[in-house]
Structures are given as structure tokens and as C-alpha cells.
Structure 1
Amino acid sequence: MAEYAVGPLISMLKDKVSSYLLQRYKVMDGMEEQREILERKLPAILNIIEDVEEEVAYRSGVSAWLKALKKVACKANDVFDEFKYEALRRGAKEKGHYKKLGFDIVSLFPAHNPIVFRYRMGKKLCRIVRIIEVLVEEMNTLGFKHLQPAPPSKQWRITDSVIIDSEEDIVSRSRDEEKKKIVSILIGQASDGSDLIVLPIVGMGGLGKTTFAQLVYNDPAIKEYFQLRRWCCVSDDFEVVKIANSICETNENDRDKALQNLQNEVSGKRYFIVLDDVWNEDADKWKKLRTCLKHGCKGSAVLMTTRKEKVAEIMKMCIDDSHDLGKLPKVFLKEIFESRAFFSQKPNAAELGDTVEKILDRCGGSPLAAKAFGSMLSTKTSMKEWMNILTRSNSCDAKKEVLPILKLSYEDLPSHLKQCFAFCAVFPKDYEIDLEILIQLWMAHDFIPLKEGDNLEKVGREIFNELTWRSFFQDVKRSHPKEKQSELRSRTVCKIHDLMHDIALSVMGKSCLTIVDRPDQKELLSAGATHHLFSSYHFTGTHSHDYLKKQSPALRTILYTNDKAFGPAPYLSKHSHLRALQLFKLRKLPLRPKHLQHLRYLDLSNNEFIKELPKEISIMYNLQTLKLSNCEKLGQLPKDMKYMTNLRHLYTNGCTSLKCMPPDLWQLTSLQTLTYFVASSSPGCCTISELRDLNLGGELELSCLEYVTEEHAKESSLGNKEKLTHLSLVWGDDCIDELDQHRNVLDALKPHAALEFLGICSYGGTTFPTWVKSLIFLQHLTGLHLDGCTMCKEFPQFDQFKALEVLVLKRLNKLQSLCSNSSSAAFPALKDLRLANLELFERWVATEGEKLKFPLLENLRIENCPKLTTLPEAPKVKVVRLEEDKAQLSLSILVSRYMSCLSELFVIVRDTEAAPTPKLDRDPEVSLSELALTGCSFLFPSSPLQHAVGVWKWFGQLVKLHINFCDTLVYWPEEEFQSLVLLKILLIEKCSKLIGPTQVKGCRTRERAQFLPNLTILAIRNCGNLTELFVLPPSLRTLNIDKCVSLEFIVGQDNELESPQHFNTAASLEHCNDLASESIPEPPASPRINPLPCLVYLRLCNCNKIHSMPVQLDTLKCLNIKNCSGLESLDCLGDLPLLETLFLLRCKKLASVPGSTGNYSALERIIIEYCPAVNIKPLYAHLQRRRDSLEHEDISRAGLSNPDE
């Protein structure tokens, strides 16, 4: 099917041929005849193309003709894009762009000499016209004719772009009994104390397995019974790291860390996890995942969906049989079909006859088929069209499943919808697609047809809505804004059903290359001509570089989407037809604007190295979207941006080093998005008044408003920008409001009443303008941030904003309460409340003794509010963060009823004199899983002779503990931690008095297997007095030590390790289940027994007193040692057969690499730098043999001395 989407290309070409730009700037002088030929021929081809595409399956010669037509159409589109660029270049020249660029930039323009341009383009155009004329002759010879559309009868539905989810209730009713059965099995088995339960749901594609699993997942009984619920979409690739990241909601590239995170996530919890759409038949992969999942409590359950019985047999546990999902009864299928097909009105029953019943028979019990059929037929207005669809369709069955109907549904799409959907094949299966980005990519490739008066983005949303209505997209939802990326607003995201993704892939063929894991070099280099490249893999490497060198210039899309990706800069010089480019973090951008004249979409976001853009970037006249979000060091934008007249979206949020905006931005009349604007009084900078005629929408942050006058603020006309939904107004921190300048400017910046988010920072006025306090004006407000309004005395009545979901109040020196009284005070929608540095804030309600309720509050953060001594009523709060000088709120929270529902608690108390209180000896129900303590000396005894604080016995469910800046922590607090039997992660930082194990007469260290028996991650940083590590349990998998300058031993002293009796080895092996499927070698006959049989990751940095590693660590996969100047030998570590990563940096006394290099069979990454004493000769031959399998290698500076010493 890859050659069939030709219609959109021809339509696109027809529009370009008749473009007014080509006439306006006379770029086709001397080529008028060829242009006229195309203007005649293209409509003729377009007239028959859809019918030809339908005939390809049963007429010989059609396929070859379509392939030839597609090839020439692609070339012709490129040629007319060159004409367009030349027209834009001449337009910019008329406006004076050349005069400002200088010869060094002008010389970069491709063939800007008119005579040379005419000659070069004339040859190209003549070639294309000749081929098209031949194809038109063949078209006539083959007898292609335009088929007249069927005459309309009764219009059954007036189509629109509204997406209806009426099927949800239908499916819920139809599957209710099945759902109750599954819920009963899961909870019943769990209540019996069963080990991990894995229940497969089996059924053919399109039967509704995912929807059924969602019904179970969201059942109230499931929500109440299980402590943790997670949904993971698996799809074709059963990649354990990907699944672990999905469950933990992280993005960890390292396999061992990802699996460790998974164990920590489920440990000590009765969890319920859905693994949706599993295909994997490799039992070993499932065993590795299952081993991690077994760390949860008894009664934990996994519900998985699959089409394959074999997969179900491999994965099921504690269950006799899988659940075979039945076909949807016809009565419910009919409801789904009719809700789509007859959306606005029901047709005449006599006219329909038994047509609906025949269609339902075709659906084979599949709700997806019923949706697709209904959506497809909703656009048909006559019985003849209905019967034509029915004739072309095949029935669904277990063998063919629903694909025939879905293919028919795709073939029924208008040509521009076909192309828009087919492009989505570039994304991996189950990828969460950002709608805004998707539409911008469609625009970049000219997929969106534009009629006069239309807006590209609006038409793009209509296309998306239509495709969603037809079930090509699913799981449409709003995502939370990413505060770390300085985003103010949520975004619309969606996914594609895996069967629909298969349709897109079948259409695109080899035009798309998607890389999600380490690519195979041979497969990559043997790939055919590719138009679209997507890579989410974390390392680009030489393979990708070689691939880009080899690829033809036809490449149109390159998307590197992994923020953490690293590697050499991609090779771009020959790819002059690129329309969309997204790069990862690079110190030097490989951009050559003269090679990127057709580029419409450029994403350089999150690059912490960029200080300036190439000065010639302003010649990229076609650019529509430029993303620079979070380029923190970017100091300026190109001064000549005003000539980039096609620019529609400029993302500068998070570019905190920008000094001002380039002048004359008002000339960018197409600009619709500008996320960050820096005002300035410097000459040659854009003023805020230039925003007046820009139709901006979405989010906008206006910064450095101290340089803005009231007159300029009024001229910006923010009140007329009805598409602007999120607004942040920021003054400089130390600015003084003279003559009410701040208030006048803020009043003049009054936005449109549709505003959803308002942020005001460092405002110096004593009162807010009326519009800020107006309930009527801000009735749609869901987010309000006030920060640094230190002089303000009057504030809005915050409880009056009933739609408010997020409220952040910081550095408001005069604020004393949230509202005046509690009789009408309520925050019915508030979920997130953050208060910080409010020095006078003492009550929730101004009236003393009254309380304030937050019925939906989930996150509460209170920092440095010294007068506040009480907590609000918040029955559903899950996460609390407190920071204070004296332990007031901290003690309140520890003895409050909140502790029974909290999952995370973060406490910072700076008072080092506070003594433990008897109040903490009570024994409430606590389900806390994460605890972070900074300071909090009152929670530890100041002497080993004192008893432990009673609070520690509450924390039996604790999984993660972080201790920071605690001066009373001197010894390993064994008594305090006796209850922490489920603790997985322990982080200790900046505890300057910490020495090591308790040295008290009569005290004896507990056996390793009994002390913190489930600890898997230990990190100790900046503990300068620490001389020896604590007694480490054998369950430990990750050990990270940094800046412990007095540390001498990692695992006991040499004489402690000589005796096998020193360790409880039997208990040790119980903690290595997750390594069961790995090929761990038999331990050598040596007295130095491995005390850490599960350790896979070891990192040592800045520990100068460590001289050697006295133990064998056979299971290590990652060894990272840096700045350990006293380290002399690693020989005792053993051969390290599982080692994947070896980093040795700045260890000047280290004499050799660990183990036998010949055993480095698993090695993937190696870096050795500035270790002048090391002998690396044995490494060379081994690395040479394994060069193709190495992901990264750098030993070029291994024998050099550290240049910084």
C-alpha cells in the first residue's frame, strides 16, 4: 500500500504551482509554458486519482503507474518548494535583508544569481513536465476515468468535528458481568494470601481487551483493595527496562537501575498492575520481570491482555485458566454502530432494510469494527454508497481479525486525512503523541490543505478530531504541565491503537524508520530509502551517523526525542530536503541554514550548551516552528528574525539568559505562539507594544516588566487576545514601585476573561488592580501563582475562585490568611496548595478558631511560614512537604490523622537543639512509603547510650528514606531502623558528624542478613568524617559513595573478610533471585567470599583514602570510579564476567584494570581517562575484537596525567 497515497501529493503540488508568491516575485520567468502545462495536467490527474487507487488491487499496470507518479510528484514538490524559497528570498531582499547580512552570509544563499537560478530550475522543471506528460498519456491509454459520485438521497448525519465517547457506557454495560467475575477472582485470590497472581485476558484484536482491562482497573473495589495501581502498555517489544520505567513512571536508561527502581516501587505494597497488549513468547524475559514483581506483598496481582494463547500459558500464575473475552453481543454492537453512523438523526427503517444487520454480521463481535464501520458510513449519504461499502468489506474472524475492516476504513478517508494519519507510522507503537507537535509536523510537510480564510492549526485540529471520531486515535487526554521545563499549561496527548498503527505502517512501507533500542549496524546500513526517521534511543553513536551519511537526500524528518540522548552530532549536510528536525543536546549545532532552506520545524529544546544561534538562521524563510525551550544559556535571538515571516510558533520558555527580544517582531504577522518575552529599555530591542497586532494564544510569560511603561502595556492589547489562556507577569526582584508604576502597568496588562492561569511575580504595588480580584472576570481560573509581591497589603479572597485547582503563594510578606471567614469558604476543586516564605501567615481563616476545608487536596507544601501552627482539613492528602526553623508543623503532622493516608512525607527542620518528644511514642496506623528528613535532630538520639525515638517503630511500610544535614547522626542508628524491614533505598547526605558503626561497649553488630534485609540502594555523599561503611546487607544492588574523604574501607577491613563465617551466605542468596536468569559464574575457591552477592552497580568518587577493593564482586555490571587518588589496585574484584560499563577517571595510582580483559564478554561502554600508572595494553586487542558490539569507547587519554593537577 506504500505507493497508494499519491492523491495528497498531487493536490499539494497543484496548490504550489498556482501560488501567488511565484507570480509576485517572477521566479518562474522563462518557464511559463511548463507551468501552464502543469496547471492543465495536474487537475486532470487529481480528478481520477482516488478511483485509480481503488483499482490497484485488481488491475495490472496500475501499481507501477502509481509508483512512477508518486516519485515524480515528490520531486516536483521539492522543485516548487525551491521556487517558493526563491520568492521568499526575493521578498526579504526587497525589505532590505541583504543589506544587513553582509557578503559572508549572502554567499550562503543557494544559487541566488537569477540567471543561474533560471537555468538550473528550468532544467529540473522540463524533466518533470516530460515525465508527467508521459504519465498522462499512459493514464489515457489505461482508460482511467473519473467515476461520478452516487446521487445523494436522504442525509442521515451532518458531520462535524465533535468527538463523542458514548460507547463507554455501552461497553461498560455489556461487560459488567465479566468484569465482576474478574474482580472477584483477583480480590478473592489475594485475600487468600496467594503469591503473585497473573491473570491473562485473551481475545482477538479489536475485541475490546484494553477497554475491558480499563473497566477492571477503575473498578472501585480494585481501587480500594490494592495500595498501588499501575497501567503499562507493552505492545510488540517486551523490553523489560521500558516496562519497569512505565510502572515506576521514570525514564531510566540503565537496565539495572530501572529494574532496581521497579523492585523499590512495588516492595512492601499490595499492587495491581495491568500489562496491556503482550506479545512476548520469550519465557526468560518474563522471568526477569516477574522476579522484580515478586518483591511486592502477597496478594499482589497482574492483569495482562494478549491475543495469543501461548503468551497466556507462559505468564499465568496462581490461576488455573485464562479468561477468554467473549464477542460483544449484537445488541450492544448495534448501539455502538448506530451511535456513530446515525449521530444526529435516525434514517428511514424501510430504506435501510436489513443492511444494518448485515453490517453487524461483518463486525464479528468486535466493538472496534463497529466503531470503524459506523464512523465510515456516517459520511455516506445514500444507500448506494452504503451497499458499495458493504460489498467491499470482509467479515471479521479469529484468523483475519478486524484488519480488513480497518483497511477499508482507511481507504475510505479523504486523501488529506490519509496522508496525515499515515505519517503517524513514524512514531513507535503506544507512543504518547503530543497533538500540538503532531499538527506542527503535519504543517511542516504541507499535509494540511488550506482554503482562503482558514487557519492551519484550526484545520489541523479538525483533521485530528475527524480521525479520532473514526477511531484512528484513542486515549485522548490532557497531560500535566512540566514545571521543570517552565511550562504553564497542560497539553493534549493521544495514542494510536496497535491495529491502526499496523495500517499506517503498511501504507508507509519503508518510508519510516523508528529506533527505540540499540540499532543493529547491519540492519541500519541495509535500510532502504527513508523519508522519516524517529529515534528515542539514548545513544546516537557512529551507527546512526553512518546511516545518515548513506541515506539519500530524500530524508524529510529527523526526530531525536530523548532528552538524555548523547553522541556525535548527526550528519546533516546532504539532507537539503529536511522539513522537520529535532536535535538532542549538542555543544555545537550542526546547522547549516543554506542546506536547510526547506526546514519548517526545528526543535533545539533543553540544550544547556547553546549560547547563540547561527547568525544566518534568519535566511530560513520557510521556518514555521522554532523550539528553544529551556536553552538556559541562550543569550540572544537573531536580530533579523523579522524576516522569517512564516514563523508561527516561537517557544522560548525557560530561556532565562535572554536579555531582550529582537526588534520589529510585529512584522511576524503569522506568529501565534510566543511563550517568553523579555522586556528591555536597551536600544535595538523589541518593546511590549509590538505585541499589539500579533494573534498570540496558549501561554505567554512577560518578564522584566520594570522596563515597561503604562502606555506600552496598554498598546500590547492583551485583552484582545482571546486565545491566550495562560499568562505570567514578572518584574525584577529588587525593583521599587515608584508612583504606582507597577500597579498601572499591571492594570494595563488586563487579559481576556477566558484566562485559565495567572502568575504574578515580584510585583511591587501595595494593592492589586480590580481585575485581579474580580470573581466574575477570573471565573475560569484553574491556576493562580503569586510570588514576591512583598509590598502588597490587599489580596483576593482566594476561596472565591471555585474552579481553582492549583494555588501557589510565595513571599507575600503581608498575607495573614487565605480568606476572611469559613462560613462560605471552601476550595471545592483545589488539588495542589503551596505556601512558602509567608512571614505573617498565621491562620487559614482570618476569624480565630475557624477551620478551612480542602475536600480534594492531594499535595500540600508549606515552607517557612513561622507563625502557622495548624494544618488544614484535607482528608485526601497524599503528599506533604514541610520546611521550618522550629519543629511545629512537623510534630503536628507526625501525630495527626494524616499519617494514615500519607504516601510521601518530606520534612526540613533547621533547629539542631530540639529534643525528642514523648508525643512521638504513640502507635498510629502509618502507610508512609517515602520519608525525607533534613535537619530533624529531634528524631535521633544525640548519644548511642540514649534510647531510640519511638517514632521509628511506625515506619514498617517505609520503602525510601533520605537523611540530610543531621548533626545528631553520629553512628549507624541500628535501634532506630529495626522496624524498617521493607526499606529499599537509603540516602545519607551532608551528615558531617557521621563516623561509622556504633562503638559502644556491650553492643554487637547484627548479622548482615538480618539488618535492613531488603535494602537495595545505598548512597552516601559529603560525609567527611566517615571512616568505614555501615554493616551492609547482602541484598544490596547499588552502592554510591561520593566525597567521603576519610573513608578507608568499602566492605569491612581485610582481616574481617578472611573468614567465611563472617557472612550469612545462605541468607545472602535469597536476595539474588533477580539474577537467577543471568549466567553468574561459580565462585572461585577463595577465602575472600563475596559479601555482596547481588551488587551490580558500584560508584566511588572523591574518596582519596581508599587503597584497594578487598572483595570479589562477581555480579558487578557497572563500575564507576572517579577522583580516587589513593586507589592502587582493583585486582581482588575478580574477572567481572557480567561487566557492561567501566569508567575509570583520574585515579593516578591505579596500576591496572580489574579482572581479566578476556572475560569482558558483556562490555558495552568503557572510558578510561587520566590514570597515568594504568597498564591498558591487554585491553587493546580485546576492544579491537569487540568494536562492533561496543556502544561507546574512549581510552585515548588513559595514560595521561590529569591536566588540572
Structure 2
Amino acid sequence: MNKATEIVVSAVAGAFASEVLKLAIGEAKLVFAFGYVSKELASTMEDLLPIVTEVESMQDVGELKTLKDTIDKARVVVEECKSVKKWEIHLKHYYTRRILKRCNGLPLLIEVLGVPLKGKPLYYWKGQVESWSEKETNLDGVLKLLQPSFTALEPHLKECFMDMGSFLEDQKIRASVIIDIWVELYGKSPTSSSLAYMKYLDDLASQNLLKLIPLGRKEHEDGFYNELLVTQHDVLRELAIHQSKQEAVLERKRHSLVIQGDNYPDDLLLSQRESVRFLSISTDDLFSSSWEEMDSFQFPKVEALLLNISSSNYALPGFIATMKKLKVVIIINHGPDPAKLTNLSCLNSLPNLKRIRLEKVEITFLDILQLQLGRLKKLSLVMCSFGEVFYDTDETDASKALPSLQEIDIDYCYDLDELPYWISEAVSWEKLSITNCHKLSILPEAIGNLSKLELLRLCSCISLSELPETTARLNNLQFLDISDCLGLRKLPLEIGRLDKLKKISMNKCWKCELPDSVRNLENLEVKCDEETEMVLWKGLEEKMINLNVQVEETEHNLNLLRLL
């Protein structure tokens, strides 16, 4: 290169470099001044860095010598601004504002839409925002906004989410209700654990598609979920219903009938009935239990039936008898007083019925015994009224009437003061749970006959003063829960004979006397409050093999008021 050419190149390079460096410094000043940068500017800053580096390597050439200070300054500011991640943070703030605006400030939409975006790259945020139509402001638009949250679910969670649309609007559902249904609808083996389906609820809650509200202890041990409420926003329920209706008519697995007074909805097409597996029927307090218009209906594939009732007298529909695949029946009364149930005999002919749950109904133990349900595994009675308890069961052998019954759950049954004798005859039982029955004062001596019993839960039975001595014959008992039995004064003298007993929960039982034989229990885990630990168990730690006492903090939970 001759001298003249070198001078020309130097001048051109100096002029170009000067403009580039001024641009770099100017853009950098904008970044520092406003703390915000566009994606285009971020790319520009990234492109400027190698140019500045190249200019810096040429700063000894002609005109570039005079730009040394500018080059140094440009190098520093571009280095400080080169990280694209910084730009993404600002852009995410920009898209966050767009998302908040699109959600119209609705906390539900913000919660649900925010979960899929968490941890996602910038292009995902941009694509989400650009996919929305500014004209969509009605329910259809909201459902479209929520659609990605449903689409992202795994197939089994999609099914479970759609099931939520079968419950009433604003209904507060005990988790045990939902789990009973899912165990029978989706359980692949007779021994399917409720823990797996509790995880499904947790998974949906983690996506903000429903809410879990604990009523009592945070831990839900051994499949006991009566103290956990499930609620769902109305819009999410609409999404569940909407998604269910996207299925082809011949393949729809859910159907909800709403009957106001005696005004029935339009007749279902036969094709719609053929595929239904989960049927819910809701009636109001004016319903007369006249089922003539539906007597000819058949639902051959229904496996789960949910009846929401509100009237004081309710006759079960006769067409239930045709549901030969029915596995679980849930009857929930939303009226102020227990409802009198009639026509229970329609349940007799159901060969696959495994679970029955009755809430706030009037029924006798003899009614249950006379159902003769050979495959029934679990019976749940919540807020039920039993009236007079009949003990003469000579005509009906409980072990033959309910030969497969493994679990009974009695909760908040306020007029229950004593259990019928036949309960001790159902020797197939593995779990007996009687909770919040404040008048229950005594258990039958024959309870010791339940040789297969693994769990005995007696929480909050405040009038219960003692356990029968025969309790010490429950050789398979693994878990005894007597928490909040405030009137309990002693345990069976020979409780130490229960070799398989590994866990006792006895919160607020410090007035209960422990027999000497308790020292024979090995590898025992005790859960209790601090006072019970100090009074009863503190002195036994060195006298028992592997005693593990866990002190639980007292919880003051007002969520129970949500049931009112």
C-alpha cells in the first residue's frame, strides 16, 4: 500500500470508527440512563463489540491514534452491556406488563398463566403474548387464554381435571370424595393406592388449576383425606366442562344432569348415554323424587355416580339398578337437615359396587346391613343421622352381608353414641375410622374380633373415656390414632401385646394413663403435643427400644369455617 492509499484508508477507517464508537457509547448511555433496552439494541451492542475490538487493534494507524480515549471508553461500556440475558430481563418485564394487561387484573388468570411461563426462554413469552387476540374479552376469550395450561398437562391429569367439571359450582369438596372416584375410574389394580391420586390433586394444585385447603393437620396420613378441602374457581370449572365437550359425542365419558324442581332437561341422545363413565345428577329442594321421565334411561358404562341433592326426602332413581359396571356411589346433601333416603334396594343388584359415600343423610345401620353388597370395600358416612341403633342382628350375618368390606369411615355423625354390634362381625375390616363423633362414649367389647384390622382412628371423639381391653387382641393393628380424645383416661392394660403397632397419634391426650405394658412396644413412633410428650413419654425414652416421639406444634386452623 503506497503512502497516498494509506492516508485515504486511514482517514476512511478513522471516520467510520469514530461513528461506530459514538453509536456504541450513545446506545450504552441509553441503557444506563433508562435501564431498558430493546431486542434490536441488544443485538446491535453484541455486534459492536467485535468491531470495537478490531478498531482497538488498529488504533496506531493514522487518524485512529486520536481516538484512543474514545476506543477505551467504548470498549468498557460495550463489555458492560454485552450480556443478552440482561436484555431478556427487561423484555420479560415488558411482556409481563402485556400479560397483566391481557388478564384484566384477574388473579386467577395471572396465577394460571404464570405457571407455564416460569423458567421458559424469552421467545416462549413473546409467542404467548402474540398468540392472543385483543378482541377476546368474554368467557370464550378467557378459556382460550387458559387453554395452554390444560394442553400442557399429562394425559392422566387432563382426565382428572375434566372430572372436576362434574361437581357443583362453588362446591367445597372433600379430597376423599374425589380420590374415591379416581381410584375406581383409573385404578389399574384392585390394590390401587389413594396416595397416587392424592398426588394428582397436588399436581393440579401446583398448576393453580384447583386449590387445596387443609382443615386440620397438614399431614394426611394413611389415606385419610377428610380434613382436606378441594375448591376450584368458576372459570376453571368452565374450562373443565368446555374441554369435556371437545370430545366426540360417541366418546364423551362425563355427563352432568341438572334438574330444577321437576323440570327435566332435554332427553339425552342414546348415543350420549352409551359412553358415559362418570354421571352426576343435581336436584334442588323442590325436587319430588319423581323419576318417571328417566325410568327408561340406561347408562351401561357408568362407573361413578355423583348425586347432589337438596330436598328433605329423596328416592334413589330406579335406573341405577341397570348400571352393572357401577363401582362408586357418592350422595351429598346440600340441604340444611339430613335427608331421608328411600329406594336403597336399587343398589342390591350392582355386582361391581365397591364404594359408597353418604353425606348428611338419615339412615340406619340396619339399612346398610340389609343391602347385601357382596363386593363393597369401603363405606363412608359423613354428617349422617342414624336415629335409634339396632343391635339385634340375628336375622342378618354381617360377615355374609358385607363379606368384602375393608374400610368404614364415620365422620361428624353427632347423634352416634354407640356402635352396633354387627360392626365387630365384619372380620374382613382393615381400617376403622370414627372421627368427630362427640357423643360416642363406648366401643363394643367384640371389637377384638377384627383380626385383620390394621388401622383404628378415633380422632376427636371427646366423650370416649376408654378403649375396650379386647383392643389388645388386634394382632395386626399398626396405627392407633386417638388424637383430641379429650375424655380418654386409659389405654388397654395389655396394649404391649400389639407387636405390629408402630405408630400412635395422641395429641392432647396428656390425661390418659399409659399401662406398664406399653414398654414392650418396639420401634414405636409417637406423635403428640408438647404437654403429652412431657407428661407421658419423657420418662420412657430410655426404657423402650427405639422409641421415637415427635412433638407436633399446635395449629389454629380457621379453614373449617369455609364449610359453613
The separation in 2 between residues aligned to 1:751 and 1:830, in whole angstroms, is 12
Aligned to 2:221: none
- Contact residue 321 and residue 347 of structure 2 kept, 8 A: no
The separation in 2 between residues aligned to 1:1196 and 1:667, in whole angstroms, is 43
Deviation at 1:1091, TM superposition (A): 1.3
Residue among 1140, 1143, 1146 paired with 2:502 = 1140
Determine what percentage of the aligned residue pairs are the same residue: 16
Secondary structure, in 3 states, of the residue corresponding to 1:963? strand
Aligned to 1:909: 309
- Contact residue 996 and residue 1026 of structure 1 kept, 8 A: no
Secondary structure, in 3 states, of the residue corresponding to 2:480? strand
Post-superposition CA distance 1:108-164 (Å, at most 9, x none):
xxxxxxxxxxxxxxxxxxxxxxxxxxxxxxxxxxxxxxxxxxxxxxxxxxxxxxxxx
Aligned to 2:432: 1039
Deviation at 1:1157, TM superposition (A): 2.8
Secondary structure, in 3 states, of the residue corresponding to 1:1171? helix
Secondary structure, in 3 states, of the residue corresponding to 2:458? strand
- Change over 3 Å in CA distance of 1:1099–1:1132 after alignment to 2: same
The separation in 2 between residues aligned to 1:698 and 1:994, in whole angstroms, is 47
- Change over 3 Å in CA distance of 1:1005–1:751 after alignment to 2: closer
- Contact residue 1017 and residue 1036 of structure 1 kept, 8 A: yes
Aligned to 2:322: 924
The separation in 1 between residues aligned to 2:145 and 2:103, in whole angstroms, is 21
Residue among 1152, 1160, 1177 paired with 2:522 = 1160
Residue among 449, 459, 479 paired with 1:1101 = 459
The separation in 2 between residues aligned to 1:728 and 1:1107, in whole angstroms, is 66
Residue among 1009, 1017, 1027 paired with 2:407 = 1017
Residue among 266, 280, 285 paired with 1:881 = 280
- Change over 3 Å in CA distance of 1:863–1:1171 after alignment to 2: farther
- Change over 3 Å in CA distance of 1:932–1:855 after alignment to 2: same
The separation in 1 between residues aligned to 2:116 and 2:130, in whole angstroms, is 6
Aligned to 1:954: 349
- Change over 3 Å in CA distance of 1:1165–1:958 after alignment to 2: same
Letter in 1 for 2:475: D
Alignment of 1:1152-1191 (within 5 A): 1152=514, 1155-1161=517-523, 1163-1164=524-525, 1166-1171=527-532, 1174-1182=535-543, 1186=546
- Contact residue 522 and residue 546 of structure 2 kept, 8 A: no
Alignment of 1:988-1003 (within 5 A): 988-991=381-384, 993-995=385-387, 997-998=389-390
The separation in 2 between residues aligned to 1:1114 and 1:1043, in whole angstroms, is 26
Alignment of 1:832-847 (within 5 A): 832-833=244-245
The separation in 1 between residues aligned to 2:521 and 2:84, in whole angstroms, is 52
Deviation at 1:910, TM superposition (A): 1.3
The separation in 1 between residues aligned to 2:131 and 2:91, in whole angstroms, is 21
Post-superposition CA distance 1:922-960 (Å, at most 9, x none):
96362200111124988835xxxxxx6431222231101
> Is structure 2 residue 257 aligned with structure 1 residue 897?
no
- Change over 3 Å in CA distance of 1:1196–1:982 after alignment to 2: closer
- Change over 3 Å in CA distance of 1:1094–1:925 after alignment to 2: same
> Is structure 2 residue 397 aligned with structure 1 residue 1007?
yes
> Is structure 2 residue 93 aligned with structure 1 residue 668?
yes
Aligned to 1:1149: 511
The separation in 2 between residues aligned to 1:901 and 1:1020, in whole angstroms, is 30
- Contact residue 289 and residue 314 of structure 2 kept, 8 A: no
Post-superposition CA distance 1:331-360 (Å, at most 9, x none):
xxxxxxxxxxxxxxxxxxxxxxxxxxxxxx
- Contact residue 301 and residue 325 of structure 2 kept, 8 A: yes
The separation in 1 between residues aligned to 2:380 and 2:142, in whole angstroms, is 46
TM-score normalised by structure 2 residue count: 0.53
Letter in 1 for 2:325: S
Post-superposition CA distance 1:309-339 (Å, at most 9, x none):
xxxxxxxxxxxxxxxxxxxxxxxxxxxxxxx
Aligned to 2:378: 985
Greater RCO (CA < 8 Å, at least 6 residues apart): 2
- Change over 3 Å in CA distance of 1:880–1:855 after alignment to 2: same
- Change over 3 Å in CA distance of 1:1105–1:727 after alignment to 2: farther
Alignment of 1:403-418 (within 5 A): none
Letter in 1 for 2:302: L
The separation in 1 between residues aligned to 2:552 and 2:333, in whole angstroms, is 45
Letter in 2 for 1:924: T
Secondary structure, in 3 states, of the residue corresponding to 1:962? strand
Alignment of 1:373-772 (within 5 A): 646-647=88-89, 668-669=93-94, 679=104, 723=128, 746=137, 757=147
Secondary structure, in 3 states, of the residue corresponding to 1:1176? helix
The separation in 2 between residues aligned to 1:902 and 1:913, in whole angstroms, is 25
- Contact residue 674 and residue 699 of structure 1 kept, 8 A: no
Deviation at 1:987, TM superposition (A): 0.5
Deviation at 1:894, TM superposition (A): 7.1
The separation in 2 between residues aligned to 1:989 and 1:932, in whole angstroms, is 11
The separation in 2 between residues aligned to 1:1179 and 1:972, in whole angstroms, is 45
- Contact residue 930 and residue 958 of structure 1 kept, 8 A: yes
Deviation at 1:996, TM superposition (A): 5.8
Secondary structure, in 3 states, of the residue corresponding to 1:986? strand
Secondary structure, in 3 states, of the residue corresponding to 1:881? strand
- Contact residue 1169 and residue 1195 of structure 1 kept, 8 A: yes
- Change over 3 Å in CA distance of 1:1137–1:894 after alignment to 2: farther
Aligned to 2:477: 1116
TM-score normalised by structure 1 residue count: 0.27
The separation in 2 between residues aligned to 1:981 and 1:1126, in whole angstroms, is 37
Secondary structure, in 3 states, of the residue corresponding to 2:541? helix
The separation in 2 between residues aligned to 1:1127 and 1:728, in whole angstroms, is 64
Q: Is the helix fraction higher in 1 or 2?
A: 2
Aligned to 1:933: 331
Post-superposition CA distance 1:503-551 (Å, at most 9, x none):
xxxxxxxxxxxxxxxxxxxxxxxxxxxxxxxxxxxxxxxxxxxxxxxxx
Letter in 2 for 1:1144: M
- Change over 3 Å in CA distance of 1:876–1:1132 after alignment to 2: farther
Aligned to 1:1194: 550
The separation in 1 between residues aligned to 2:349 and 2:141, in whole angstroms, is 52
Unpaired segments ≥5 residues, structure 2: 1-23, 37-42, 45-82, 118-124, 150-161, 170-231, 236-240, 557-564
- Contact residue 314 and residue 340 of structure 2 kept, 8 A: no
- Change over 3 Å in CA distance of 1:1151–1:1091 after alignment to 2: same
The separation in 2 between residues aligned to 1:1118 and 1:1017, in whole angstroms, is 14
Aligned length: 377
- Change over 3 Å in CA distance of 1:1186–1:912 after alignment to 2: same
> Is structure 2 residue 416 aligned with structure 1 residue 1026?
yes
Deviation at 1:1007, TM superposition (A): 3.5
- Change over 3 Å in CA distance of 1:667–1:1036 after alignment to 2: closer
Deviation at 1:1106, TM superposition (A): 0.9
The separation in 2 between residues aligned to 1:677 and 1:1010, in whole angstroms, is 62
